Amino acid sequence: MRDKLHTLKQELVDSVIALAEERIAKDKQAEAKNFVKQFYANVAPQDILSEEPEDLFGSALSIWSFGKTRPPGAAKIRAYNPRFESTGWQSPHTVIEIVNDDMPFLVDSVTTALTTLDLTVHLVI
């Protein structure tokens, strides 16, 4: 079962990469495809298998674009509700994007803070 799930995940990520090949300028494709591979590399298959490639592409492209303009040593943070009409992808959940230098326990601290506020964390990448 584990191998089947990972195969399905790889096929899904390959679909996302195919979208990058179609929609990203040629000179940025290698960087975008590498980012997509790394972005989803450690995500459990069951966490994304129900998602559409279009939304996974939009999610990855969103944070890739957002993080590109971050100066070293500075954090960039935003929260939004992605809707296809305005962002090109959608999610039924609020998205929080944090791009920063490596910081131990940041994910745990943010997750704990959200849980303390009685908010549910649906996916962490």
Residue with the larger pLDDT of the pair 1 and 99: 99
Cβ neighbour number for residue 96 with a 10 Å cutoff: 14
User: Residues 70-79: what's their mean pLDDT?
Assistant: 93
Alpha carbons 122 and 94: distance in angstroms, whole number: 10
Q: What is the pTM of this model?
A: 0.89
**95, 59 contact by CB (below 8 A):** yes
pLDDT reading at 82 higher than 90: yes
Nearest to 19 by CA among 29, 9, 10, 27: 29
pLDDT digits (tens, 9 = 90+) for 30-64: 999 999 999 999 999 999 999 999 999 999 999 99
As beta bridge partners, residue 96 has 79
Confidence of residue 89 (pLDDT cuts 50, 70, 90): confident
Residue 107 pLDDT more than 80?
yes
Q: For position 1, what pLDDT does the model report?
A: 61
